[in-house]
Amino acid sequence: MRDHRSLSSSVLITKRCIAFRHHYHTSQPDKSTKKPKTNEPTTTTHKVTRKPWEEIPFLTDLKQTEDTEEALSLFHHYQQTGFRHDYPSYSSLIYKLAKSRNFEAVDQILRIVRYRNVRCRESLFMGLIQHYGKTRSVDKAVDVFNRMTSFDCVRTIQSLNTLINVLVDCNELEKARSFFDGAKDMRLRLNSVSFNILIKGFLDKCDWEGACKVFDEMLETEVQPSVVTYNSLIGFLCRNDDLGKAKSLFEDMIQKRIRPNAVTFALLMRGLCCKGEYNEAKKLMFDMEYRGCKPGLVNYGVLMSDLGKRGKIDEAKVLLGEMKKRRIKPDVVIYNILVNHLCSEGRAPEAYRTLTEMQMKGCKPNAATYRMMLDGFCRIGDFDSGLNVLNAMLASRHSPTSATFVCLVSGLIKGGNLDHACFVLEVLGKKKLSFGSGPWRNLLCDLCIKDTGACCEALSEVIST
């Protein structure tokens, strides 16, 4: 059966390649036909360009392929049938392989690309550097950046910034600084993004002085700070309870005619809320509008979070109504704030109504929504409702944490609902999640303390399942 499928696939690929080549060649002018020598004006013929990437047979089939080995096999099949791969083919395959973290195959395709002198775009290598960063393969990311020019690709400040950002995210600040300082030798001019990344790196290490030195260097080299620059610095100060300095920086950016955005005000509002100055934070919303900056979701989110933490959920709901009056459509983050605090207060049924409302308004719940909701029902002991949330969660291709699984299984067994407990454990197995020895021990203790005979029988059935 497998050979038959492989043969059918090869025949299909061959047919598609022949059809593609036929279309390509018949759409080109016949060079063997001589043009008549005449003084009469000739009609202009437009050259037929290649179809968009989505219509190239190989790319169409590649999109439908999930397994990387199958993708490589598809690549070689097309090649054997005479299909000529070009940059779109190579880049799409490399992206797919890198996304699946099959970097050995990536290197293999890159060798072919270099051997065939295929000119590559900078975006391909920027994507690769980012994928290596996600696996914290710093040396590989640096190697890709250094080898870009060997692929007839010109490096710009965009690819350098990508590398510096990966190094910062991987806690390699010294290496990031080294490449930052080496920009001049590469004949690249640093921009505001370059400085912002390095400032972020120092702030992540809580090195305020280091961040300030980079900021001063930015001004000395006459690179204009952006709103992102100031937001990074103001945010750090607000998180570290230095609201005075944060306000001074805010005034400094106003003097430099750098317009603050909704995030700038949200950072200051959060700083005020942390000091217990909610009313001052809310007044800042009016200051925003006075300065020509409309309040956004992030600003309402700060106020609603603060109210929720202080147990004033009904006031948070009033803010939600205010948003609707202003025609600001709440997103999943805003709804999650309400769901979270309602569940924390033991008001899971009310939180569930909020979840239903957000769906009716066209806002799709995310994994966090379902997890908070499921934990909320488990917290109040309503495990049947929790099971309903679990089913909706699985239908949306999300999964709860293993700790929630333990709580749900325990509650269902204690309530005598063994069939549903077994169902939850089956889901746990399919998701390849594990309780771990600690949660299992706690589950055993809870069950045995309640009723030794009945619980042993129940546990035996659950384990066998």
What are the Cα distances from residue 198, in Å, to 142, 151, 160, 216, 427?
A: 17, 28, 12, 12, 44
Confidence band for 121, pLDDT divided at 50, 70 and 90: very high
Q: What residue type is 360 in one-letter code? A: M
Residue 56: both structure tokens together: 């190239």
Question: Crossing angle, helix 208-220 and helix 192-204, to 10 degrees?
Answer: 170
Phi, psi of 309 (to 5 degrees): -65, -30
Please return the burial class of 162, using the count of CB atoms within 10 Å of its CB with bins 0-12, 13-18 and 19+: buried
Residues 217-250 have pLDDT tens digits of 999 999 999 999 999 999 999 999 999 999 999 9
pLDDT at 69: 85
In the block, tokens 């016949």 appear at 30
Confidence band for 86, pLDDT divided at 50, 70 and 90: confident
Helix (H, G, I), strand (E, B) or coil at 75: helix
Cα–Cα nearest to 326, from 286, 353, 358: 286
Mean pLDDT, residues 411-433: 77
Which segment of 119-123, 284-288, 373-377, 403-407 scores lowest on mean pLDDT?
Answer: 403-407
pLDDT at 416: 78
Residue 116: both structure tokens together: 């065939």
Confidence band for 28, pLDDT divided at 50, 70 and 90: very low
Residues 368-377 have pLDDT tens digits of 999 999 999 9
